[in-house]
Chain A
Amino acid sequence: MVVAERGITERVKKLRHQSENTAPSITIERAQLVTEAYRENADSVSAPVLRALTFKHLMENKAVCINEGELIVGERGPKPQSAPTYPELCCHTVEDLDLISKRNKIAFQVSDEVKNAQEKEIIPFWKGRSMRDKIFKRMNNNWHACYKAGIFTEFMEQRAPGHTVAGDKIYKLGMLDIKEEINAELLAMDYTNDQDAYAKAEQLKAMAICADALITYARRHAVRAREMAAVESSAERTRELEQIATICDRVPAAAPETLWEALQYYWFVHLGVITELNTWDAFCPGRLDQHLEPFYQKDLKESRLTTYSAKELLQCFWIKFNNQPAPPKVGITLKESGTYTDFANINLGGLRPDGKDGANDVTYLLLEVIDEMRLLQPSSNIQVSKKNPDLFIKKAAHIIRKGWGQPSVFNVEAVIIELLRQGKTLVDARSGGTSGCVETGAFGKESYILTGYFNLTKVLEITLNNGVNPADGTLLGIETGNPRYFKNFDQLLSAFERQLNYFINIKIEGNQIIEKLYADQMPAPFLSLIIDDCIKNARDYNAGGARYNTNYIQGVGIGTITDCLSAIKYHIYDQKRFNWDEMMYCLDKNFAANEVMRQILLNKTPRYGNDDDYADSIMQQVFKIFHGLIDGRKSIRGGTYRINMLPTTCHVYFGSVIGATPDGRFAGKPLSEGISPVQGADFKGPTAVIKSASKMDHLLTGGTLLNLKFSPAVLEGEKGLNSLVHLIRSYFRMDGHHIQFNVVDADTLRKAQNNPEEYRNLIVRVAGYSDYFSNLNEELQNEIIARTAHAKL
């Protein structure tokens, strides 16, 4: 299957081709530079300054790359598709590198030099010093047992906190302006009365070093561009290279004045953030359409650009995201995780800070870019407010209908109420949006870190076994009673609540230690430049310097646990069709001798996703318990705990650690994803699914994820397109947070599974992000096929 290269101009086509066809590889450059910087400075300076000097060393020495024909410059590695490593966070073993280079999916080329350097230089220096080693050493036995059993995951053992998004600051201030702010704070420091003054000053000095370092990095690109211009044969390209040089001299030192400068400035900041540390969700420009609009209009007015040339710039910008595969993980997480996606998620539409409709000319231009580029990265979403016209949603729906998974759709009014409930101001809430998969945040002003997925169904399994983990027979939880003696369903729920509380305490105790380790030892002075009010507070992003600080724990498998509890309530307590002995026996035997019972559990139980209050009210009870145990707790950096309901791909891993469950699920099979119903449990169509899902109080969360899969036939024609808009509006009227659509038929997917070569370009929505179908492992592929196709014949 020959696919014509996408892109508005030949240049874009070539760059896109390069991005799509370059094999990802690992570069040792960053690991070596970081190791050099630590050898030089680790024992002589404070932690923030050490991190700043490390950043400076990177910015002064990392290779400068300007690809042929490109307009926006700068790569994370020495070339496109080259991923650096972060040994100060987690250090790959030689075996890890072997696995990365040899596996079929999500592979990275690893040269012998890289392996050799890793073994001889990097591993010996970082053994015991990486954050991962330190974290694992500090966690107690209970934590380790739970982690191993798959009760929860830990986000910060492989990547740094980040989970944040740029606001509008960088479009107004250059790094030199920001340095002035820093100097003003330094001058105002009160060393005699403020006991934190020394620490604050160290932090501010570190930030200033980082601001200079980014300017240096940009100017190195200017130098390179001029060198290239000197030997360039094409007059047109020579002019472009000279222009690139001028731009890199100006930004990020000064505030941008044109669209090109604004894009280049953001891109340097992006590279700064993801080079400083391997932050979760990489980094993201957030409300890009609103940030760029003034530059775009000014350029048009002053004839610097046409819509056509603006689009070319934006397409070049898009490709830069796609050139940066997510750095591979280590250890067991490496085996489980499979995506090149680094979760930058661009927001379009929504409201302006003053509450007016935010969809503008750039919004529509970007929708065209998304459609024409069809790239894995960056991810994109539309922010839908009641004030946005249907025209806006329809334009996006045209793209959604094509079935490659972008953009996803968010409810602005819900996001704003979620943020207000958490104490943000109205303006900060309106300037916020969603990032990563579905996470709500006040852009440019909040550190909202995800700390780990929580396996709700595993906790139920342990409750059913009176605290014992049936996987290995050990007492993992607390003894909350043998369910056989529970007189009613409420007793079971209350046992589950006590069990859950026990595990959440273990998780949060662990989180506190990790948070302190990051605050003390792994500050992010560069990221702190970008996020308000780190400078004003003279505090690091990782130490609570942001205006708002939030910690999330993400509940996984609400559909599965609801169906499990519904099956128990319905068949054991209400209908008395089975008793506890029969149930526990069948679960223990993985339904080996009793397919009849399994079928009854599957087919004759009120299940979540069908707008049936019997099941949906149980979902509400579980949600209330989970929310009640977490929401409002305090973290040591001054943050507040909240919940999210999203899985990424963790529902597959979490399912693999759970035996057979009362909903008729076989041992080891995936759990339900996000707040979607169990795969195949919903049979009343999409309106019933959105009704069930909206019975959860989304406004008490920081994000929920609902996936609806359609066969293309359903969405055909004007009528089908309108129905998509109406489903979105209806769900959002019921306070739904997010909805995404997979538009492919099962046959197409099966064909793609059997002939991956022919379907290399097939992108599907996984869970809050899209991926190439051919890159998913078989289990995930099967799951996507199994998700109910709401096909109407």
Chain B
Amino acid sequence: MKKGLIFNIQRYSLHDGPGIRTTVFFKGCPLKCQWCQNPEGIDTDVELFRHNQKCIHCGSCMTHCHEKAIDLTDSGPLVNRQACNRCMECVDICPTGTLEMAGKEYSVNEVVQAALKDILIYEESGGGVTISGGEPLLQYEFLLELLLALKKLNIHTAIETSGYCSWEKIKEISKITDLIYYDLKLIDDNSSRIFTGASNILIMDNLERLVISGANIVVRMPLIPSVNDTRDNIEHTAGYLSSIGVKCIELLPYHNLGSVKYEGLDLECPFNYRPNSELIRQASVIFEANGIYITSEG
């Protein structure tokens, strides 16, 4: 049985689909969006994560590390990422949870069991399971098996995808899952390459095909200050959506609560803007003027 790499299973999720849900975050993403607030979801391997504010400076990690990859500083453990072989023994040793493992392998059945814990709550609330990431389709086979297993149990499923994958894969998934949240970040291919690290041609192509296939899609747009909040981009996006027969869009506000996570992974945070709640309102006006309705989440 194929295993999946998952970095979080979040219960009581209210904003990833209808009702009260469990969101399963798949680790690994083909894109590198500069504003990404889940950087631990990008790498396709397990990673060592530091929460230095929890550190009590006991030094257990440093003493225990076989690779001598950890140094203890005034601000907590300092990890030499080159030397670290990701054995993760320090995570067990650490008494406070300062060191944590981002990513853990799960079998399909293990995820299903975790999801079943709240089955009554899904039933009461009309909720279910949402597969998010990272990019769920990057672990296509595992995703397929998991969705089939959940469908067998009559649990409502949703996926959150960038659409950056082969048409064959997303087509198969769209036949099984009940709902697809589809991110449309930038309409201009050049900007897309700059800000997400990939061309959007495949993404838009897949979206058009999904619309034609009649799949249950909600198009979403994370509104990123000075990246895609320009009148030009919004008008183009609205025009594009109209042309392919999509009538509404859901806008997600940008937040920077994930910027601290970059530090925990010893990564450079490429982007850090102040969130601005005005943006959503301004963008909504432009979308609506161009014939696209704004839907609120869930």
Contact = CB atoms under 8 A, between A and B. Distances in A.
Interface of A: 595-597, 599-600, 603-604, 611, 684-688, 691, 714, 717, 719-720, 722-723, 726-727, 729-730, 733-734, 790, 792-793
Contact of A686 (B12, B97, B124): B12
A596 B58 CA distance: 7
A76 B10 CA distance: 53
Contact of B56 (A596, A722, A734): A596
A430 to B, nearest CB: 24
A726 B58 CA distance: 44
Interface in B37-95: 56, 58, 60, 95
B257 interface: yes
Q: Which residue, B20, B58, B117, has most C-beta atoms of chain A within 10 A?
A: B20
A687 B118 contact: yes
Contacts of B118: 687, 691
B96 A726 contact: no
B213 interface: no
B298 A719 contact: yes
A603 B125 contact: no
A710 to B, nearest CB: 11
A687 B117 CA distance: 9
B12 A595 contact: no
Given A603-B96, A691-B117, A719 B297 contact: yes
A599 B14 contact: no
B125 A722 contact: yes
Given A599-B56, A691-B118, A726 B20 contact: yes
Given A597-B95, A603-B96, 10 more contacts: A596-B60, A686-B12, A688-B11, A688-B12, A688-B117, A719-B14, A723-B20, A726-B19, A726-B124, A730-B124
B120 interface: yes
B279 interface: no
Contacts of A596: 56, 58, 60, 95
Interface string B110-122: 0000000110110
B125 A726 contact: yes
B46 to A, nearest CB: 19
Contacts of B95: 596-597, 599-600, 603-604
B48 to A, nearest CB: 17
B31 to A, nearest CB: 22
23 contacts: A596-B95, A597-B95, A599-B58, A599-B95, A684-B11, A685-B11, A687-B12, A687-B117, A691-B117, A714-B14, A719-B298, A720-B14, A722-B125, A726-B19, A726-B125, A726-B127, A727-B20, A729-B124, A730-B120, A730-B125, A734-B120, A792-B12, A793-B255
A234 B121 CA distance: 59
Contact of B97 (A603, A714, A730, A793): A603
Contacts, number: 68
Contacts of A611: 117
A726 B298 contact: no
Contacts of B13: 792
Given A603-B96, A685-B11, A792-B14, A726 B121 contact: yes
A730 B257 CA distance: 31
A611 B121 CA distance: 13
Interface of B: 10-15, 19-20, 56, 58, 60, 95-97, 117-118, 120-121, 124-125, 127, 255, 257, 296-298
B121 A727 contact: yes
Nearest to B60: A596
Nearest to B15: A719
Contacts of B19: 726
Given A719-B297, A726-B19, A793 B257 contact: yes
A734 B124 CA distance: 12
Nearest to A683: B97
B14 A733 contact: no
A516 to B, nearest CB: 47
Nearest to B127: A726
B35 to A, nearest CB: 16
B95 to A, nearest CB: 4
A351 to B, nearest CB: 20
A533 B280 CA distance: 65
A685 B12 CA distance: 6
Nearest 7 CB-CB pairings of A with B:
A726-B125, A599-B95, A685-B12, A600-B95, A730-B121, A730-B124, A729-B124
A194 to B, nearest CB: 55
A160 B223 CA distance: 63
B45 to A, nearest CB: 24
A688 B13 CA distance: 12
Contacts of B15: 719
Contacts of B11: 684-685, 687-688
A603 B58 CA distance: 15
Contacts of A714: 14
A727 B118 CA distance: 11
Contacts of A687: 11-12, 20, 117-118, 121
A729 B126 CA distance: 12
A599 B255 CA distance: 32
A793 B125 CA distance: 21
Contacts of A730: 120-121, 124-125
A69 B156 CA distance: 59
A691 B117 CA distance: 8
A609 to B, nearest CB: 13
Contact of B12 (A604, A722, A790): A790
Contacts of B12: 685-688, 723, 790, 792
Contact of A733 (B10, B117, B120): B120
Contacts of A793: 255, 257
A595 B298 contact: no
B180 to A, nearest CB: 20
A723 B298 CA distance: 12
A444 to B, nearest CB: 33
B293 to A, nearest CB: 17
Contacts of B257: 793
Contacts of B20: 687, 723, 726-727
A727 B297 CA distance: 19
Contacts of A717: 296
Contacts of B96: 599, 603
Contacts of A688: 11-12, 117
B281 to A, nearest CB: 16
Contacts of A686: 12
A734 B119 CA distance: 12
A684 B257 CA distance: 19
A603 B93 CA distance: 11
Contacts of B117: 611, 687-688, 691
Contacts of A685: 10-12
Question: In this complex, which of B15, B118, B257 has the most chain A Cβ atoms within 10 angstroms of its Cβ?
Answer: B118
A597 B127 CA distance: 40
Nearest to A714: B14
A595 B95 CA distance: 9
A685 B22 CA distance: 11
B226 to A, nearest CB: 23
Contacts of A722: 125
A599 B19 CA distance: 36
A549 B236 CA distance: 75
B124 A733 contact: yes
A790 B117 CA distance: 18
Contacts of B120: 730, 733-734
B61 to A, nearest CB: 11
Contacts of B14: 714, 719-720, 723, 792
